[in-house]
Structure 1
Amino acid sequence: MFIGTIWVLFQRNISRAANRRMVTVACSLLLFSTAHLIIDTIRTEEGLVQQRSTFPGGPTAFFSDVAQWSFVYKNLLYTLQTLVGDGVVIYRCYVVWQSWYIIIIPCMLWCSVAATGAGCVYSISQATINKENIFAPGTGPWITSFLAATLFTNLLSTSLLAYRIWSIGRRVTNVALATGLMWPILRVILDAGVLYSLSLLAALSCFIAKNHGHYIVLDMIMPIISITFYMVIIRIAITKNSSQASEDHSRSLSNYLARRSRGRISYVDPQQCPMRRMEVHITQLTEHEIDPGKLRSSNDNNPPGMSSPNFVAKFDPVAI
């Protein structure tokens, strides 16, 4: 998915700054996920092979010791990856809304994620009493606060992003009925948000219930953060390519029929030239004032049931 994301980013015609940011994020997520997997492998080998007979209490005590360097660094990488993932969702929200006021609360929540994440790593590294119990008062509240903060941050940012795309889709319905790009983007955004939110909810629920299954869920969340980022870019690119192919087909069909009407083509084979719905692609919403007199005269020339649009679109979804 990382390779596919990089290929899409370099193939799409988006701004150099946006492309550079997305490539940096993709590489960072790959680096954190890979480092986390390497540390997990080392930790497993140490607990089950190297220190199996020498560590007091055996493998069970080794993997329960939260002060082990491998466990501390695992949590540090998870905190960094969470900050990057949540930051990307907030950035996408800003790109769609184009307003700093909208992301004030998500940014405050992101700061709380950073603060509680730092508290988690520090409390784990300094654990001396009850270090074999991650639910102890010295570490448990920090981890609970961290998981709750990142869950709320993701839910709020994803909701704002989805609402903005949905509202734009409703406002452009009169101009491009059943547009072939807006609603698939909304589904992609919601899929990514739901996948990540459910993972966080499972981890938080396990930790509150003092169930050790949260270890498994947290190890799963690391690649899930990367997957949710990659899948948005790849799936939107696939949607845009499909829409572009349909648009090119419709344009070719229109030119074909136009030449036929001028007598250059005498016969149209329905099997070779099937009719398809023409799609209009919306890329950015821009509002502006319209003179009512001009609007009335313009509407006189429109087909019944259609009104003159007072906005156009212009944002590249792959850039988000």
Structure 2
Amino acid sequence: MSAPVSLIQAFLVSFWLEGVLYGFFVCIFALSLAVNLGATKQQTGHSRAMFIVGIVTFILATIHISINCMRMLRGYVDHSSLPGGPVGYLGILSQWDHVFNNVIYATQSILGDCVAVYRCWILWNRNFLVVCVPFLMVFGSAVSGYMTCAIFAKIQPGSTVFDKELDAWIKTFFAIAVAQNIITTALMAWRIAAADRQTSSYRVTKNNLIPILRILVESAALYLTAEIILLILYVANSNAQYILLEIITPIIGITFNAITIRITLRSQSNQSVHVGEMTSSNSRRPPGNIPLHPMITVNITEQTDYDPESQWPLEGK
């Protein structure tokens, strides 16, 4: 049986991994800037909003790793020869920098949850009933996350994150993050897959919605896996949970910007499709349409006549 991870090991490995992932996030964010700024004329209001959210996730991740860098220098340099050593400083939960960093982490996580719920709401034709549970879970996540930070600020010295005063709030926050990620991803995947099946008989090109489904599922898998491992490690009272805790902030940014980049690039490629390949003569509008325009912009010029008997617009007449 392997030896348990010590706090001094957990702090070192967590900071190193966060630095690696942050460097990867910088590259992803730079690519996101290039892609979005290059597609300014084709951007919708939704695209611009997502672009701004991407910038916010980068700012939060930058603040998070900056505070952690300062904490590591204070712990392993300034307090290395003092009683308790680096852990004597880094292990104090009520330190302002520890509390502030956890506020940044909670904010980044809640922001990611809000974006997932918003995307789900858009895909389901702005049907609030579909997203009411994930929407309420955002409030539960905010309450449990910021309540944990408030307890950190006033907790007694010598306490750990596994104390009873914190245990229920932290488990609630982690569990909600996992559950909401599963629910929102499943709802979006179901909606896209159902729309693809319903429109398959009307499609005259090889283009389909499965690549969009793949983008959402693949990008969400990284964040979901990290959250599940984090929850398991915390329930097991393992110090290794610090490692996962610190890397969640850049992972959220990577996940969000990866989705934005891949969908924007696909949108740009789809805009070159000729209108003659997108419509057929005297064809009816296929059922089950989902509003993909906030995510994929396809410019189509067509003339539409209205048939009062069938109650359907006839496209391409």
- Normalised by the size of structure 2, how large is the TM-score? 0.77
For 1:313 and 1:60, how far apart are their aligned partners in 2?
A: 53
Partner in structure 2 of residue 315 of structure 1: 292
CA contact (8 A) 2:195 2:290 kept: no
Partner in structure 2 of residue 187 of structure 1: 214
Query: Which secondary structure state, in structure 2, belongs to the residue aligned with residue 101 of structure 1?
Result: helix
1:224 to 240, 245, 251: 251
Instruction: Provide the aligned length of Structure 1 versus Structure 2.
Output: 266
Partner in structure 2 of residue 174 of structure 1: 201
Q: 2:210 aligned with 1:233, yes or no?
A: no
Q: 2:35 aligned with 1:8, yes or no?
A: yes
Residues 1-320 of structure 1 mapped to structure 2, 5 A cutoff: 1-10=28-37, 11=39, 13-15=42-44, 17-54=45-82, 56-98=83-125, 99-128=127-156, 130-131=158-159, 133-176=160-203, 179-244=206-271, 247=273, 280=278, 308-311=284-287, 315-316=292-293, 318=295
Ranked by relative contact order (alpha carbons within 8 Å, sequence separation 6 or more), the top structure is 2
Q: Aligned in 2, Cα 1:129/1:42: closer, same or farther, shift over 3 Å?
A: closer
Query: Which secondary structure state, in structure 2, belongs to the residue aligned with residue 153 of structure 1?
Result: helix
Cα deviation, 1:277-300, whole Å, max 9, x if unaligned, reads x6x49xxxxxxxxxxxxxxxx9xx
Mark the runs of 5 or more structure 2 residues left unpaired by the alignment. 1-27, 298-317
Higher gyration radius (CA) = 1
TM-aligned CA deviation for residue 151 of structure 1: 1.2
For 1:91 and 1:19, how far apart are their aligned partners in 2?
A: 12
CA contact (8 A) 2:124 2:290 kept: no
Instruction: Provide the aligned C-alpha RMSD in A.
Output: 2.5
Query: Which secondary structure state, in structure 1, belongs to the residue aligned with residue 211 of structure 2?
Result: helix
- Normalised by the size of structure 1, how large is the TM-score? 0.76
Q: Which amino acid aligns with 1:111?
A: F
Q: Which amino acid aligns with 1:29?
A: T
Task: Give percent identity, aligned residues only.
Answer: 27
TM-aligned CA deviation for residue 219 of structure 1: 1.2
CA contact (8 A) 1:181 1:240 kept: no
Cα deviation, 1:31-52, whole Å, max 9, x if unaligned, reads 1000001001000000000122
Q: Which amino acid aligns with 2:295?
A: V
Moved over 6 A (4+): none
Cα deviation, 1:52-87, whole Å, max 9, x if unaligned, reads 223x31112222221222211111000000111000
Q: Aligned in 2, Cα 1:315/1:100: closer, same or farther, shift over 3 Å?
A: same
